Amino acid sequence: MNDLNTEDRLVLETLPGIKKLVLLESATSTQEVARELALQGDMEGTLVLALTQNAGKGRMGREWESGRGGVYMTLILQPLIGLKFLGELSVLAGSVAALTLKQLYGLNTRVKLPNDIYALHPQKKKYLKIAGILTESASINKTPNWILLGIGVNLNNAVSLDTAVSASDILKKEVSREEFLQAFFENFWHMYSSWEYASQSKSS
């Protein structure tokens, strides 16, 4: 990955809770790459992270702009839960993304169910889309065999849509992708473990 120095690589290779990291210069979509890996089995905790995507997708097949500078990633999970709880995971990930953006950069964020995160643009005085979540699963006996948790966050990438915004647009400066990812996964695993436990209790 051309734009990663040694320090950045070290940070990414030690992200909390990530067992295997697949770093890509470019991908059609991280969901597609992660799906192929998940089919191999025993890939829980694998994170696919790309600098750019050629065909990034959002919910209902909508295109997701994936220019250089943003975060485009898919995490492979195998929670012991029923499929009826899958929608909650998308909301959880959205909440974590919103929380992390607020903690690090002081952004005024809100989650639009089921899977979009919006941030207030102070100058434009309106909320614009800054992140999105996409979940996909394969199941056995109504229990997910694996779940793909796709996350796209506009950090430093240029955004052409007038309904979207990046963190750097709001802050008027670039931010650290590596810092964001560290904080995101610290928050994520804390909330995820609590959610997984609660979901298992409801299923029993």
**pLDDT interval class at 11 (50, 70, 90):** confident
User: CB of 156 within 8 A of CB of 130?
Assistant: no
Q: Cβ contacts of residue 184 below 8 Å, gap of 6+? A: 96, 97, 100
Query: From the centroid of its chain, how far is CA 201?
Result: 26
User: CB of 177 within 8 A of CB of 152?
Assistant: no
How many CB atoms lie under 10 A from the CB of residue 136?
A: 17
| Residue-level pLDDT at 176 | 94
Q: Domains plus CATH for the chain?
A: 6-199 (3.30.930.10)
The tokens for 40 are: 């191999």
Model pLDDT for residues 91-119, shown as the tens digit of each residue: 999 999 999 999 999 999 999 988 899 99
Listed range (3-17, 36-50, 174-188) with the worst mean pLDDT: 3-17
| Residue-level pLDDT at 65 | 62
